[in-house]
Amino acid sequence: MAVLLLLAALVKFNSHGGKNEKVESFRGARLEQGIWNPLIAANVNEKTLTLMVDNRELTNREDGIYMDGNLNIMVPFSVLRDSFHCSAHLYDENKLVLEKHSDVVTFQLEEEQVEVNEKKEKITSPMALVNGEYYVAAKTVAEKLSFNYNWNIAKNQAIAVNSAEEDSILPLKYDLRDRQRAPDVKNQGPYGTCWAFAALSALESILLPEETCGFSPDHMTLQNGFARKQTEGGEYTMGMAYLTAWQGPVYEKDDPYGDGKSEENLKPVKHVQEIQLLDGKDFEKIKESVFWYGGVQTAIYSALQDSAANSPYYNSKEHAYCYAGAEKPNHEILIIGWDDTYPKENFNLEVEDDGAFLCQNSWGEEFGDEGVFYVSYYDVNIGLHSVIYTGIEEPDNYSRIYQSDLCGWVGQLGYDKESLYGANVYTAQSEEALQAAGFYATGKETSYELYVVRNFENTDSLGKRIKVAEGSLANAGYYTIEFEKECRVEEGEKFAILLYITTPGSVHPMAVEYAADDLTEHVDLADGEGYISSNGKKWESAEKDQKCNLCLKVYSNK
């Protein structure tokens, strides 16, 4: 308390200014900052410290912010993107690059200066590495990204409010290659494996520049739950199923492409826990995703069959493509940037206006501009569906996954209304703590409630459920939801995970796996025990009555 009173006195005296400098008569003012500031910081950090960035609250208790010895609020790298609504990436473990609008702000580890649009400026608190996490001063970030920043000593709170006039955070053009965030260009050869190349290249891009990986399309196309040869093509939902089932990814060096064989016992080197889907040509969201995360997987109708082919829809001189017919998408590619000023005259077809996405193909560097080409915003298929791999974690994040849907989201189930209760029953393989559940949101603004049922005996047990999480999801996709309370189960105990899901406008909100065609003929209904209900009281069997498995997984730690 004494420290804060002294600080208040200093602030009061300094605020008078002029010749009557009362601060000179105050003994505490002559203390060196090296002694004085750490005392203040220690007092601030002992209490709940809050940083409000627009409407998002960060605290020292939940998010690890703290006041340093220079009286700056330090924020971790991991929260910068979402709190300050910017692109944030770490290079070579010592350089942090923030981007917003056309501004580029660069911090160097332990350097008392920041580079803003290639001009260096002095700062009091350099970027720091504390307990394996990188921190930068919130005030510096705020001021360089057009936020007004203020410190309220009475509330122990800093406030940053966006003052930028532009609504969009995006520049007019952007190219991941310029940021070392584009994956290597690859060649799928004569096989119908573009869907795997696009998915795994997207993963590689999102891990860049912090981590450089090369994942195996051979493994994704040969070691999945589907009945499909490499020559027969595929689609993005197959990649989602493979990744969310922890069947992969594995490294390319462990399963090289194109040799016709694949090792069955390889373990995934990453766990994909979240995949978001954007539908309906939401170009602003696609660009934002490239800016924030990295490459975005999408599809076009390709009138070209390989890098040597010609088409009236492709200008090979300008590497510009635009299709305006009625054909459905038949080729998966990766969006790695955009250019709103790209001339419309570069396309063979007459298009309404300038602008194009910068896309990476999987036909080797012989195609386009070393493997990259432009697709007009007016192409009929570009962006109709877009896949963003937003949750890539290390393979030790959970000890075990419980699941019965290796083919993932094949179809949907419901009672002709927006809501549905679904439950999957599993048997604990050891004494474990249930940590999280994974499921698909089949549409935008899906809300959910998750429950755990211990000691499951029959459907009457589902009435004895314990709520462990609730919330809502802005986009369709696959999500892992961490439980708000830990639930321990014993070895051999039957337990259930119960999901109450609501998807506005849907009549079949629950994603299910079933044998729909030749592609999914390997679906096994014997590996699951699921139940569905319209009201949470009367239940029917998913496997026996509906011939499907519910897409509802559980993650645990021993």
Encode pLDDT of 272-316 as tens digits. Answer: 999 999 988 999 999 999 999 999 999 999 999 888 889 999 999
The DSSP bridge partners found for residue 154 are: none
Rounded Cα distance, 182 and 337, in Å: 9
Residue 279 has a pLDDT of 87
* Residue 196 scores a pLDDT above 80: yes
210-234 mean pLDDT: 95
Three-state secondary structure call for residue 241: helix
pLDDT tier for residue 31 given thresholds of 50, 70 and 90: low
| 363 or 32: which leads in pLDDT | 363
CATH classification (class only), 173-388: alpha beta
Rounded Cα distance, 75 and 140, in Å: 11
- The mean of the pLDDT values for the chain is 92
* Residue 27 scores a pLDDT above 60: no
421-444 mean pLDDT: 98
Is beta strand 147-152 parallel, antiparallel or unpaired with respect to 157-162? antiparallel
Residue 486 has a pLDDT of 87
**Which DSSP category does 182 fall into?**
S
Percent of the chain with pLDDT over 90: 88
pLDDT tier for residue 9 given thresholds of 50, 70 and 90: very low
* Residue 250 scores a pLDDT above 90: yes
* Residue 58 scores a pLDDT above 60: yes
Three-state secondary structure call for residue 305: coil
The DSSP bridge partners found for residue 359 are: 335, 373
First to last CA, the chain: 44
CATH classification (class only), 398-557: mainly beta
* Residue 266 scores a pLDDT above 80: yes
Q: Where are the domains of the chain?
A: 1-25, 31-162, 173-388, 398-557
Residue 551 has a pLDDT of 98
Chain segment 351-382, per-residue pLDDT in tens: 999 999 999 999 999 999 999 999 999 999 99
Report the predicted TM-score, pTM, of the whole model to 2 decimal places: 0.91
| 259 or 29: which leads in pLDDT | 259
**Which DSSP category does 86 fall into?**
S
> In CATH terms, is domain 31-162 a member of 3.30.457.10?
yes
Residue 516: count other Cβ atoms within 10 Å of its Cβ. 14
Give residue 10's identity as a one-letter amino acid code: L
* Residue 449 scores a pLDDT above 60: yes
pLDDT tier for residue 12 given thresholds of 50, 70 and 90: very low
